[in-house]
Amino acid sequence: MTSTTGAVCPHCGWPDEAEPFRTVSGHGTGTGRTVWTRCACGSLQVRVTDGCGTRVVSRGRPA
């Protein structure tokens, strides 16, 4: 896969702006939305969506 922003999963190379492999959970916040996802490699990610767009703010290692 090719990333247009250069931000990719350090474990498998899946682009951060791509659809997450699986959504685990999500909830609204005062400034937007927080979504917990799993990458194709199995790493858990926290994605934040707000006025600046969507970005991965934290990620774990693959299981």
Domain map (residue ranges) of the chain = 1-63
Note the pLDDT of residue 53.
Answer: 87
In the structure encoding, which two tokens stand for residue 21, read together? 């492999």
Is the pTM higher than 0.85? no
Sheet architecture: strand order including 22-28: 22-28, 33-38, 44-50, 53-59
> What is the CA angle 6-12-13, rounded to 5?
15
42 Cβ neighbours under 8 A, 6+ residues apart: 62, 63
Model pLDDT for residues 2-29, shown as the tens digit of each residue: 444 568 899 999 888 877 778 999 999 9
pLDDT at residue 46 above 60? yes
